[in-house]
Copies of this chain bind each other. A is one copy, B any other.
Amino acid sequence: MDKTNVLVTGLSGGVGSIVGKFLGSKYKMSGLDLSPSQGFKTHIADLSNLDAIRPAFTNQDVVVHLGADPRGEAPWDSVLKNNIVGTYNVLEASREAGVKRVVFASTNHVVGYIPATQTPYREIFEGELDKVRRPFPLISSNAVRPCCYYAVGKSFGESIGSLYNDKYGLSFIGIRIGGVLQEPDWQVRQKGGLSMWLSHRDAAQIIERSIDAPYSVGFTIVYGMSGNSLRVHEIETAEKILGYKPEDDAGDTFSCDIHNQPEYLNIAH
Residues of chain A at the chain B interface (Cβ within 8 Å) = 76, 80, 84-85, 88, 92, 113, 142-149, 151-152, 155-156, 159-160, 162-163, 166-167, 264
* Copies of this chain, count: 2
Query: How far is it, in angstroms, between the C-alpha of A156 and the C-alpha of B85 when the chains are bound?
Result: 13
Known: A159-B155, A159-B156. A166 touches B80 (CB 8 A): no
The residue in chain B whose Cβ has the minimal distance to the Cβ of A144 is B159
Q: Are B160 and A145 in contact (CB under 8 A)?
A: no
Which residues of the other chain, B, contact A146 by a CB distance below 8 angstroms? 159-160, 162-163
Q: Are A113 and B162 in contact (CB under 8 A)?
A: yes
Which residues of the other chain, B, contact A147 by a CB distance below 8 angstroms? 163, 166-167
Q: Are A163 and B143 in contact (CB under 8 A)?
A: no
Which residues of the other chain, B, contact A144 by a CB distance below 8 angstroms? 159, 162
* Apart from A149-B163, A156-B156: 10 A-B pairs, beta carbons within 8 A: A80-B84, A80-B88, A84-B84, A84-B156, A113-B166, A143-B143, A144-B162, A145-B166, A147-B163, A155-B156
- What are the 9 A-B residue pairs with the smallest beta carbon separation, nearest first? A113-B166, A142-B142, A155-B159, A152-B160, A146-B163, A156-B156, A142-B143, A152-B159, A144-B159
Kindly provide the distance from the CB of A30 to the nearest chain B CB, expressed in whole angstroms: 26
Query: How far is it, in angstroms, between the C-alpha of A145 and the C-alpha of B219 when the chains are bound?
Result: 11
